[in-house]
Copies of this chain bind each other. A is one copy, B any other.
């Protein structure tokens, strides 16, 4: 059924080795033979079998990317950056969405191992250091995305989340707010923990400021809505006067609950700032202040490092850290 290189060789009256050369090293082959082979390929509708190539080569020409949540525009932007860089190098990106579930993350890593991918980009969820070391040992470099490596045995491309958290809350404090709430979770996620740590630094620097931590279970719009309803259910006097959410999706959900169901005025009653500065941030009911990450650049950079390490496994791991940028809009004005 399937047309193989052998059929092409027969049709063109040459050996299989020659067909392979036409495909992979055209300069080693005479022009007459090359056109004869190309014709045969076209006539038979031959398509290379990637599995056989990979088997022979010992590795695939794809790289794997596992993101925490493909519905989060931040990660789709990262993915797009990675794809841009990959396309330049003729490499394909296999995208896996762990959906913040450790078992899905593990399943994708298994898949990538079995596929013998060239390397893996991952925004890790659980504690998978062992897995990642193993991948490295297997010859597939690993680059952490959106999270700095704890030890220096792995490369990473991330944003300074602590600085971002500090900047966000310092901004809220500057506008006169004192009863700050941090909304985000799970705190097991490094990004969340770091942004919270930054927030705590900022609050500690101002004597009469206080910080309340509301830990949620996911970084999604619906979770934000849920947290917002909790706030709305409180006596108004018990509510914070400013909220910093761990990302923009939470902020969007929170905003829906506060403004539309709770009748809370933003920013008058409660100021709000998010993280990521996704495209939608400027289009929300009340345009959202946020910390911008260079998401596409993160993806590009990470893939570049990955390919460099794949080519030269002796390279020392690198940690690249970008600084987030404060974008002030109406939700935290005055």
Contacts and interface: CB of A to CB of B under 8 A. Distances in A.
B54 A80 contact: no
Q: How large is the interface on A (under 10, 10 to 19, 20 to 34, 35 or more residues)?
A: 35 or more
Nearest to A220: B279
Interface in A243-268: 252-253, 255-256, 260
A38 interface: no
A78 B1 CA distance: 33
Interface string A88-107: 00001011010100001001
Copies in the complex: 2
Nearest to A108: B92
Given A70-B79, A97-B83, A283 B252 contact: yes
A19 to B, nearest CB: 16
A40 B50 CA distance: 30
B50 A114 contact: yes
B285 A113 contact: no
A70 to B, nearest CB: 5
A115 B51 contact: yes
Interface in A157-175: none
Contacts of A60: 51
A283 B282 contact: no
Given A70-B70, A87-B107, A283-B285, 11 more contacts: A2-B138, A47-B113, A50-B111, A50-B114, A51-B54, A51-B55, A51-B116, A83-B97, A95-B95, A284-B284, A285-B286
